[in-house]
Protein backbone atom coordinates (compact mmCIF):
# COMPACT_ATOMS: atom_id res chain seq x y z
CA UNK A 1 0.00 0.00 0.00
CA UNK A 2 1.38 3.33 -0.92
CA UNK A 3 1.89 5.91 1.71
CA UNK A 4 0.89 8.80 -0.48
CA UNK A 5 -2.06 11.11 -0.49
CA UNK A 6 -3.31 14.11 -2.38
CA UNK A 7 -2.79 17.72 -1.47
CA UNK A 8 -4.47 20.71 -3.03
CA UNK A 9 -3.72 24.31 -2.25
CA UNK A 10 -6.21 26.89 -3.47
CA UNK A 11 -6.16 30.63 -3.18
CA UNK A 12 -9.02 32.91 -4.22
CA UNK A 13 -7.59 33.49 -7.67
CA UNK A 14 -6.87 29.94 -8.68
CA UNK A 15 -5.96 26.45 -7.73
CA UNK A 16 -2.41 27.04 -6.63
CA UNK A 17 -1.00 23.58 -6.42
CA UNK A 18 -2.25 20.05 -6.85
CA UNK A 19 -0.06 17.10 -6.02
CA UNK A 20 -1.00 13.53 -5.51
CA UNK A 21 2.24 11.86 -4.54
CA UNK A 22 2.70 13.50 -1.18
CA UNK A 23 3.99 11.48 1.74
CA UNK A 24 3.84 14.09 4.47
CA UNK A 25 2.70 17.66 4.93
CA UNK A 26 3.63 19.83 7.87
CA UNK A 27 1.31 22.76 8.41
CA UNK A 28 1.57 25.59 10.94
CA UNK A 29 -1.75 24.98 12.67
CA UNK A 30 -3.10 27.41 15.17
CA UNK A 31 -2.10 25.38 18.16
CA UNK A 32 1.29 24.33 16.93
CA UNK A 33 2.84 22.64 13.96
CA UNK A 34 1.02 19.60 12.72
CA UNK A 35 2.35 16.84 10.55
CA UNK A 36 -0.19 15.06 8.41
CA UNK A 37 0.41 11.56 7.09
CA UNK A 38 -1.78 9.26 5.13
CA UNK A 39 -4.98 8.08 6.84
CA UNK A 40 -5.04 10.93 9.27
CA UNK A 41 -8.40 11.42 10.93
CA UNK A 42 -10.69 13.98 9.24
CA UNK A 43 -9.76 17.33 10.59
CA UNK A 44 -10.46 21.00 10.06
CA UNK A 45 -8.03 23.47 11.48
CA UNK A 46 -6.75 26.96 11.17
CA UNK A 47 -3.35 28.08 10.08
CA UNK A 48 -1.26 30.84 11.45
CA UNK A 49 1.57 32.52 9.55
CA UNK A 50 4.29 30.01 8.91
CA UNK A 51 5.82 27.52 6.56
CA UNK A 52 4.04 24.65 4.90
CA UNK A 53 6.38 21.75 4.19
CA UNK A 54 5.33 19.31 1.55
CA UNK A 55 7.36 16.13 1.36
CA UNK A 56 6.96 13.99 -1.69
CA UNK A 57 8.90 11.67 -3.92
CA UNK A 58 9.37 14.32 -6.57
CA UNK A 59 11.05 16.60 -4.08
CA UNK A 60 10.29 18.70 -1.04
CA UNK A 61 8.62 22.05 -1.29
CA UNK A 62 8.25 24.89 1.16
CA UNK A 63 5.64 27.60 1.10
CA UNK A 64 5.21 30.66 3.21
CA UNK A 65 1.59 31.44 4.11
CA UNK A 66 -0.03 34.15 6.16
CA UNK A 67 -3.32 32.55 6.96
CA UNK A 68 -5.53 29.71 5.91
CA UNK A 69 -7.67 26.74 6.67
CA UNK A 70 -6.81 23.08 6.26
CA UNK A 71 -9.30 20.36 5.73
CA UNK A 72 -8.28 16.73 5.62
CA UNK A 73 -10.78 14.15 4.51
CA UNK A 74 -10.50 10.76 2.81
CA UNK A 75 -6.83 11.28 2.19
CA UNK A 76 -7.46 14.59 0.51
CA UNK A 77 -5.79 17.56 2.06
CA UNK A 78 -7.19 20.93 1.04
CA UNK A 79 -5.49 24.10 2.09
CA UNK A 80 -7.35 27.37 1.58
CA UNK A 81 -5.24 30.44 1.89
CA UNK A 82 -5.29 34.01 0.65
CA UNK A 83 -1.57 34.66 0.71
CA UNK A 84 0.96 32.06 -0.28
CA UNK A 85 4.49 32.20 -1.65
CA UNK A 86 6.80 29.48 -2.79
CA UNK A 87 10.00 29.84 -0.83
CA UNK A 88 12.00 28.80 -3.87
CA UNK A 89 10.67 31.81 -5.79
CA UNK A 90 10.98 34.22 -2.94
CA UNK A 91 14.06 36.41 -3.09
CA UNK A 92 15.52 38.65 -0.43
CA UNK A 93 13.79 41.82 -1.52
CA UNK A 94 10.35 40.20 -1.53
CA UNK A 95 11.04 38.80 1.88
CA UNK A 96 12.15 42.16 3.17
CA UNK A 97 8.99 43.76 1.80
CA UNK A 98 6.80 41.28 3.59
CA UNK A 99 8.80 41.65 6.76
CA UNK A 100 8.46 45.40 6.65
CA UNK A 101 4.72 45.13 6.13
CA UNK A 102 4.37 42.69 8.98
CA UNK A 103 6.45 44.82 11.30
CA UNK A 104 4.39 47.87 10.53
CA UNK A 105 1.28 45.91 11.27
CA UNK A 106 2.72 44.58 14.51
CA UNK A 107 3.65 48.05 15.64
CA UNK A 108 0.20 49.48 15.20
CA UNK A 109 -1.36 50.34 18.50
CA UNK A 110 -5.00 50.19 17.57
CA UNK A 111 -5.23 46.50 16.77
CA UNK A 112 -6.66 43.82 18.96
CA UNK A 113 -4.67 41.09 20.63
CA UNK A 114 -5.36 38.51 18.05
CA UNK A 115 -4.22 40.50 15.07
CA UNK A 116 -1.25 41.62 17.10
CA UNK A 117 -0.37 38.02 17.78
CA UNK A 118 -0.71 37.11 14.12
CA UNK A 119 1.43 40.02 13.03
CA UNK A 120 4.10 39.07 15.56
CA UNK A 121 4.02 35.56 14.22
CA UNK A 122 4.56 36.84 10.72
CA UNK A 123 7.56 38.85 11.78
CA UNK A 124 9.03 35.91 13.60
CA UNK A 125 8.61 33.50 10.73
CA UNK A 126 9.94 35.94 8.17
CA UNK A 127 12.98 36.60 10.31
CA UNK A 128 13.84 32.96 10.58
CA UNK A 129 13.86 32.71 6.82
CA UNK A 130 17.06 34.69 6.59
CA UNK B 1 -34.64 63.83 -49.83
CA UNK B 2 -31.28 64.49 -48.25
CA UNK B 3 -28.65 65.90 -50.54
CA UNK B 4 -25.79 63.79 -51.81
CA UNK B 5 -23.36 65.53 -49.56
CA UNK B 6 -25.43 64.86 -46.46
CA UNK B 7 -25.73 61.20 -47.32
CA UNK B 8 -22.01 60.93 -47.84
CA UNK B 9 -21.36 62.44 -44.45
CA UNK B 10 -23.80 60.11 -42.76
CA UNK B 11 -22.27 57.09 -44.35
CA UNK B 12 -18.85 58.17 -43.18
CA UNK B 13 -20.06 58.73 -39.64
CA UNK B 14 -21.86 55.40 -39.40
CA UNK B 15 -18.77 53.69 -40.73
CA UNK B 16 -16.57 55.22 -38.09
CA UNK B 17 -19.04 54.25 -35.39
CA UNK B 18 -18.93 50.75 -36.74
CA UNK B 19 -15.17 50.74 -36.45
CA UNK B 20 -15.40 51.71 -32.81
CA UNK B 21 -17.97 49.08 -31.94
CA UNK B 22 -15.99 46.48 -33.79
CA UNK B 23 -12.85 47.35 -31.88
CA UNK B 24 -14.77 47.29 -28.59
CA UNK B 25 -16.14 43.90 -29.44
CA UNK B 26 -12.67 42.53 -30.04
CA UNK B 27 -11.35 44.01 -26.83
CA UNK B 28 -14.28 42.60 -24.91
CA UNK B 29 -13.72 39.19 -26.46
CA UNK B 30 -10.11 39.18 -25.38
CA UNK B 31 -10.98 40.35 -21.90
CA UNK B 32 -13.82 37.91 -21.67
CA UNK B 33 -11.50 34.99 -22.10
CA UNK B 34 -9.36 36.16 -19.25
CA UNK B 35 -12.28 37.01 -17.01
CA UNK B 36 -13.94 33.70 -17.71
CA UNK B 37 -10.76 31.87 -16.91
CA UNK B 38 -10.32 33.60 -13.58
CA UNK B 39 -13.99 33.07 -12.74
CA UNK B 40 -13.55 29.39 -13.34
CA UNK B 41 -10.30 29.26 -11.44
CA UNK B 42 -11.85 31.06 -8.53
CA UNK B 43 -14.64 28.57 -8.16
CA UNK B 44 -12.73 25.83 -6.28
CA UNK B 45 -11.89 28.22 -3.48
CA UNK B 46 -15.42 29.38 -2.84
CA UNK B 47 -16.77 25.87 -3.22
CA UNK B 48 -14.28 24.45 -0.76
CA UNK B 49 -14.97 27.28 1.60
CA UNK B 50 -18.67 26.58 1.39
CA UNK B 51 -18.11 22.92 2.00
CA UNK B 52 -16.00 23.50 5.07
CA UNK B 53 -18.57 25.87 6.49
CA UNK B 54 -21.34 23.44 5.76
CA UNK B 55 -19.48 20.66 7.54
CA UNK B 56 -18.76 22.99 10.40
CA UNK B 57 -22.27 24.21 10.86
CA UNK B 58 -23.50 20.64 10.87
CA UNK B 59 -21.02 19.78 13.55
CA UNK B 60 -21.70 22.76 15.72
CA UNK B 61 -22.84 21.70 19.13
CA UNK B 62 -24.53 24.74 20.51
CA UNK B 63 -26.95 26.11 17.94
CA UNK B 64 -28.24 28.80 20.25
CA UNK B 65 -24.91 30.45 20.64
CA UNK B 66 -23.78 30.08 17.07
CA UNK B 67 -22.03 33.11 15.68
CA UNK B 68 -24.43 35.80 14.55
CA UNK B 69 -23.03 35.80 11.05
CA UNK B 70 -24.37 32.28 10.68
CA UNK B 71 -27.62 32.39 12.55
CA UNK B 72 -28.59 36.01 12.11
CA UNK B 73 -29.55 38.56 14.69
CA UNK B 74 -32.91 36.98 15.25
CA UNK B 75 -34.84 39.69 13.49
CA UNK B 76 -35.22 40.92 9.97
CA UNK B 77 -35.78 44.60 10.29
CA UNK B 78 -33.00 46.25 8.41
CA UNK B 79 -31.86 44.94 5.07
CA UNK B 80 -28.53 45.79 3.53
CA UNK B 81 -28.25 45.30 -0.20
CA UNK B 82 -24.93 45.28 -1.94
CA UNK B 83 -25.57 46.00 -5.60
CA UNK B 84 -22.62 45.12 -7.75
CA UNK B 85 -22.44 46.69 -11.19
CA UNK B 86 -19.77 47.73 -13.64
CA UNK B 87 -17.87 50.98 -13.84
CA UNK B 88 -18.27 51.30 -17.55
CA UNK B 89 -21.26 51.49 -19.81
CA UNK B 90 -21.88 50.21 -23.31
CA UNK B 91 -22.44 46.70 -22.16
CA UNK B 92 -26.01 46.06 -23.21
CA UNK B 93 -28.47 45.11 -20.52
CA UNK B 94 -25.82 44.09 -18.02
CA UNK B 95 -26.31 46.87 -15.52
CA UNK B 96 -30.02 47.37 -16.05
CA UNK B 97 -30.66 43.69 -15.42
CA UNK B 98 -29.02 43.85 -12.01
CA UNK B 99 -30.76 47.10 -11.21
CA UNK B 100 -34.13 45.71 -12.25
CA UNK B 101 -33.64 42.70 -10.01
CA UNK B 102 -32.48 44.87 -7.15
CA UNK B 103 -35.32 47.34 -7.55
CA UNK B 104 -37.99 44.67 -7.37
CA UNK B 105 -36.34 43.40 -4.19
CA UNK B 106 -36.21 46.92 -2.75
CA UNK B 107 -39.90 47.41 -3.49
CA UNK B 108 -40.71 44.21 -1.68
CA UNK B 109 -38.74 45.23 1.37
CA UNK B 110 -40.22 48.69 1.51
CA UNK B 111 -43.69 47.20 1.10
CA UNK B 112 -43.10 45.15 4.20
CA UNK B 113 -42.20 48.32 6.05
CA UNK B 114 -38.65 47.27 6.63
CA UNK B 115 -35.67 49.49 6.57
CA UNK B 116 -33.45 49.49 3.53
CA UNK B 117 -29.79 50.35 3.19
CA UNK B 118 -27.84 50.14 -0.03
CA UNK B 119 -24.18 49.84 -0.83
CA UNK B 120 -23.37 50.21 -4.48
CA UNK B 121 -20.24 48.73 -5.96
CA UNK B 122 -19.45 50.17 -9.36
CA UNK B 123 -20.40 53.64 -10.54
CA UNK B 124 -23.05 52.63 -13.07
CA UNK B 125 -25.28 51.14 -10.43
CA UNK B 126 -24.90 54.21 -8.30
CA UNK B 127 -25.89 56.44 -11.21
CA UNK B 128 -29.06 54.51 -11.83
CA UNK B 129 -30.10 54.03 -8.22
CA UNK B 130 -29.39 57.42 -6.75
CA UNK B 131 -32.31 59.05 -8.52
CA UNK B 132 -34.91 56.93 -6.77
CA UNK B 133 -33.11 55.53 -3.76
CA UNK B 134 -30.57 58.28 -3.22
CA UNK B 135 -31.34 58.62 0.48
CA UNK B 136 -30.94 54.89 1.07
CA UNK B 137 -27.45 54.61 -0.36
CA UNK B 138 -25.03 54.62 2.51
CA UNK B 139 -21.87 53.82 0.66
CA UNK B 140 -20.62 53.86 -2.88
CA UNK B 141 -17.51 51.97 -3.83
CA UNK B 142 -15.85 51.91 -7.17
CA UNK B 143 -12.80 50.03 -8.31
CA UNK B 144 -12.07 51.99 -11.44
CA UNK B 145 -8.35 51.79 -10.87
CA UNK B 146 -8.20 48.02 -10.55
CA UNK B 147 -7.90 46.39 -13.92
CA UNK B 148 -9.10 42.97 -12.88
CA UNK B 149 -11.24 41.84 -10.04
CA UNK B 150 -8.89 40.97 -7.21
CA UNK B 151 -9.31 39.53 -3.79
CA UNK B 152 -7.92 42.58 -2.08
CA UNK B 153 -10.81 44.73 -3.30
CA UNK B 154 -13.35 42.11 -2.37
CA UNK B 155 -11.86 41.89 1.07
CA UNK B 156 -12.29 45.62 1.50
CA UNK B 157 -15.99 45.37 0.72
CA UNK B 158 -16.31 42.30 2.92
CA UNK B 159 -14.65 43.98 5.89
CA UNK B 160 -16.89 46.98 5.51
CA UNK B 161 -20.00 44.80 5.49
CA UNK B 162 -18.85 42.93 8.57
CA UNK B 163 -17.99 46.13 10.38
CA UNK B 164 -21.45 47.45 9.75
CA UNK B 165 -22.97 44.16 10.82
CA UNK B 166 -21.09 44.17 14.06
CA UNK B 167 -22.14 47.72 14.68
CA UNK B 168 -25.72 46.47 14.40
CA UNK B 169 -26.54 48.55 11.37
CA UNK B 170 -28.44 45.78 9.61
CA UNK B 171 -29.81 42.28 10.07
CA UNK B 172 -29.86 40.76 6.62
CA UNK B 173 -27.39 41.27 3.82
CA UNK B 174 -27.99 40.38 0.20
CA UNK B 175 -25.66 40.82 -2.72
CA UNK B 176 -26.80 41.40 -6.29
CA UNK B 177 -24.68 40.40 -9.23
CA UNK B 178 -24.85 38.77 -12.63
CA UNK B 179 -23.98 35.16 -12.81
CA UNK B 180 -22.08 34.24 -15.93
CA UNK B 181 -23.70 31.39 -17.79
CA UNK B 182 -22.40 31.93 -21.26
CA UNK B 183 -21.62 34.80 -23.58
CA UNK B 184 -25.23 35.60 -24.36
CA UNK B 185 -26.83 34.62 -21.08
CA UNK B 186 -26.17 36.25 -17.77
CA UNK B 187 -28.51 35.64 -14.91
CA UNK B 188 -29.02 38.38 -12.35
CA UNK B 189 -28.68 36.87 -8.90
CA UNK B 190 -29.70 37.85 -5.42
CA UNK B 191 -27.67 35.99 -2.86
CA UNK B 192 -28.13 36.30 0.84
CA UNK B 193 -24.81 36.23 2.65
CA UNK B 194 -25.83 37.25 6.16
CA UNK B 195 -27.20 35.22 7.82
CA UNK B 196 -25.77 32.39 5.83
CA UNK B 197 -28.45 30.57 3.96
CA UNK B 198 -27.78 26.88 3.87
CA UNK B 199 -31.30 25.79 3.21
CA UNK B 200 -31.84 23.61 0.20
CA UNK B 201 -28.29 22.42 0.18
CA UNK B 202 -27.90 18.81 0.98
CA UNK B 203 -25.57 17.82 3.68
CA UNK B 204 -22.46 16.83 1.86
CA UNK B 205 -21.22 14.50 4.51
CA UNK B 206 -22.27 13.07 7.77
CA UNK B 207 -18.72 12.34 8.64
CA UNK B 208 -17.42 13.73 11.85
CA UNK B 209 -14.42 15.93 11.92
CA UNK B 210 -11.85 16.68 14.47
CA UNK B 211 -11.56 20.38 15.11
CA UNK B 212 -8.64 22.31 16.32
CA UNK B 213 -9.37 24.69 17.99
CA UNK B 214 -13.08 24.02 18.61
CA UNK B 215 -15.90 24.51 16.13
CA UNK B 216 -17.12 27.82 17.42
CA UNK B 217 -13.75 29.43 17.21
CA UNK B 218 -13.06 28.19 13.74
CA UNK B 219 -16.49 29.20 12.62
CA UNK B 220 -16.26 32.69 13.99
CA UNK B 221 -12.98 33.13 12.17
CA UNK B 222 -14.12 31.51 9.00
CA UNK B 223 -17.41 33.31 8.50
CA UNK B 224 -15.96 36.77 7.89
CA UNK B 225 -13.59 35.22 5.38
CA UNK B 226 -16.49 33.54 3.70
CA UNK B 227 -18.21 36.89 3.23
CA UNK B 228 -15.20 38.24 1.39
CA UNK B 229 -14.95 35.07 -0.61
CA UNK B 230 -18.58 35.27 -1.67
CA UNK B 231 -18.16 38.89 -2.64
CA UNK B 232 -15.06 38.02 -4.58
CA UNK B 233 -16.90 35.28 -6.37
CA UNK B 234 -19.63 37.73 -7.26
CA UNK B 235 -17.02 40.16 -8.57
CA UNK B 236 -15.45 37.52 -10.76
CA UNK B 237 -18.79 36.42 -12.12
CA UNK B 238 -19.69 40.01 -12.70
CA UNK B 239 -16.59 40.86 -14.64
CA UNK B 240 -17.00 37.84 -16.87
CA UNK B 241 -20.66 38.73 -17.39
CA UNK B 242 -19.80 42.33 -18.13
CA UNK B 243 -17.39 41.42 -20.87
CA UNK B 244 -19.74 38.83 -22.30
CA UNK B 245 -22.60 41.26 -22.30
CA UNK B 246 -20.48 43.96 -23.86
CA UNK B 247 -19.27 41.59 -26.51
CA UNK B 248 -22.74 40.62 -27.65
CA UNK B 249 -23.97 44.20 -27.43
CA UNK B 250 -21.10 45.44 -29.55
CA UNK B 251 -21.58 42.59 -31.99
CA UNK B 252 -25.17 43.66 -32.45
CA UNK B 253 -24.16 47.28 -32.82
CA UNK B 254 -21.60 46.41 -35.47
CA UNK B 255 -24.14 44.42 -37.40
CA UNK B 256 -26.74 47.18 -37.18
CA UNK B 257 -24.23 49.72 -38.36
CA UNK B 258 -23.39 47.49 -41.30
CA UNK B 259 -27.05 47.28 -42.27
CA UNK B 260 -27.38 51.02 -41.99
CA UNK B 261 -24.36 51.61 -44.19
CA UNK B 262 -25.81 49.30 -46.82
CA UNK B 263 -29.13 51.08 -46.76
CA UNK B 264 -27.55 54.50 -46.92
CA UNK B 265 -25.25 53.45 -49.74
CA UNK B 266 -28.20 52.30 -51.82
CA UNK B 267 -29.98 55.54 -51.14
CA UNK B 268 -26.85 57.46 -52.04
CA UNK B 269 -26.41 55.61 -55.32
CA UNK B 270 -30.06 56.06 -56.21
CA UNK B 271 -30.01 59.77 -55.69
CA UNK B 272 -26.75 60.06 -57.60
CA UNK B 273 -28.34 58.16 -60.47
CA UNK B 274 -31.43 60.34 -60.28
CA UNK B 275 -29.32 63.46 -60.45
CA UNK B 276 -27.46 62.18 -63.52
CA UNK B 277 -30.67 61.18 -65.23
CA UNK B 278 -32.13 64.53 -64.49
CA UNK B 279 -29.14 66.29 -65.97
CA UNK B 280 -29.25 64.12 -69.07
CA UNK B 281 -32.92 64.86 -69.60
CA UNK B 282 -32.22 68.53 -69.28
CA UNK B 283 -29.42 68.37 -71.83
CA UNK B 284 -31.38 66.26 -74.27
CA UNK B 285 -34.51 68.34 -74.06
CA UNK B 286 -32.34 71.44 -74.41
CA UNK B 287 -30.78 70.00 -77.56
CA UNK B 288 -34.17 68.99 -78.97
CA UNK B 289 -35.61 72.40 -78.57
CA UNK B 290 -32.96 73.87 -80.79
Q: For chain A, which residues make up each domain, given as ranges?
A: 5-86, 91-128
Provide the ipTM. 0.74
Å between B119 CA and nearest CA of chain A: 23
Binning chain A into helix, strand and coil, the percentages to the nearest 5 are 25, 45, 30
Are B48 and A80 inside 8 Å of each other by CB? yes
Residues on chain A touching B213 (C-beta within 8 angstroms)? 30-31, 45-46
Region of B105 (left: φ > 0; alpha: ψ -120 to 50; beta: rest) is alpha
Are B52 and A80 inside 8 Å of each other by CB? yes
Per-residue pLDDT reduced to its tens digit, B94-125: 999 999 999 999 999 999 888 899 999 988 88
Per-residue pLDDT reduced to its tens digit, B27-49: 999 999 988 888 888 888 888 88
In this predicted structure, the answer to whether residue B23 has a pLDDT above a threshold of 50 is: yes
Å between A49 CA and nearest CA of chain B: 15
Quote the pLDDT of residue B285. 95
Are A31 and B213 inside 8 Å of each other by CB? yes
Which domains can be identified in chain B, with CATH numbers? Answer: 45-249 (3.40.1380.10)
Q: Give the CATH number of domain A5-86; options: 2.60.15.10, 3.20.20.70, 2.40.50.140, 3.40.50.12780.
A: 2.60.15.10
Per-residue pLDDT reduced to its tens digit, A32-91: 888 988 888 888 888 888 888 898 888 888 888 888 888 888 888 888 888 888 887 777
User: By a Cβ cutoff of 8 Å, what residues of chain A touch chain B?
Assistant: 8, 10-15, 29-31, 34, 41-46, 69, 71, 73, 78, 80, 82
Q: How far apart are CA B42 and CA B226, in angstroms?
A: 13
Q: How far apart are CA B95 and CA A4, in angstroms?
A: 49
Q: What are all long-range contacts of A93-98, with beta carbons under 8 Å and residues at least 24 apart?
A: A95/A126, A95/A129, A95/A130, A98/A64, A98/A122, A98/A126
Amino acid sequence: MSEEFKVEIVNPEKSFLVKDDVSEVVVPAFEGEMGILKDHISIISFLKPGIIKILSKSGDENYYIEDGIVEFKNNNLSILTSTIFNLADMDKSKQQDLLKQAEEEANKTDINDQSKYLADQKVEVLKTLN
Amino acid sequence: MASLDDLKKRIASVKSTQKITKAMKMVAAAKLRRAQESAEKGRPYSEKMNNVILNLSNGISDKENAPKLLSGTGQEKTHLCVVMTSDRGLCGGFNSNIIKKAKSYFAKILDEDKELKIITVGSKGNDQLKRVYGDKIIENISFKESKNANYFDADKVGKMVIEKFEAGEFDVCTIFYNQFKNVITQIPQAQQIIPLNNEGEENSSEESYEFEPDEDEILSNLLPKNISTQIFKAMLENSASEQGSRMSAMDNATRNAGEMVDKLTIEYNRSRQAAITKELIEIISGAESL
